[in-house]
Amino acid sequence: MSSCSGTMPDNLGLVKGKLIDCPDSPNCVSTQTMKEDAKMDPLTYNGSLDAAVKKLVAVVNEQPRTKIIKQTDSYMHVEFKTKVMRFVDDVEFYFDDSSKKIHFRSASRLGHSDMGLNRKRMEEVTAAFNA
């Protein structure tokens, strides 16, 4: 079965401390959106930014079918592949050390609906990070 990866969006990343907003399609969740059906709470941490980054990297690396594409002191882009069809979801994390929050956006590259997969994944990441 061939991969359904699609093309990596060219608008990912931070713009003035913000991740891009979710599209109108129901295949995205974000901590920085105003769209109620796509809104989630950011991760929070105490302690150093370095420790929070290391902890989140460990959580991400424990997830199946993941690949860290880009990582800086305040930003991380990860590709997650779905198990069966190998659809690629782009997950971005923004580490806002001034508020001790990690904002994220998780969105499918292809299709209209993800049947709640991005929300479920980010709930799992949140639970693992908070454990």
This prediction's pTM? 0.89
By DSSP bridging, strand 75-81 and strand 28-30 are unpaired
What digits encode the pLDDT tens for the residues 28-53? 999 999 999 999 999 999 999 999 99
Give the pLDDT band (50/70/90) at residue 25.
Answer: confident
- Give the SS3 label for residue 4: strand
Q: Give yes or no for residue 117 having a pLDDT over 50.
A: yes
The architecture of the domain spanning 28-130 is 2-Layer Sandwich (3.30)
Cβ atoms of residues 12 and 20 within 8 Å: yes
Beta-sheet strands, E only, within 1-131: 28-30, 43-44, 66-71, 75-81, 88-96, 101-108
- Give the SS3 label for residue 14: coil
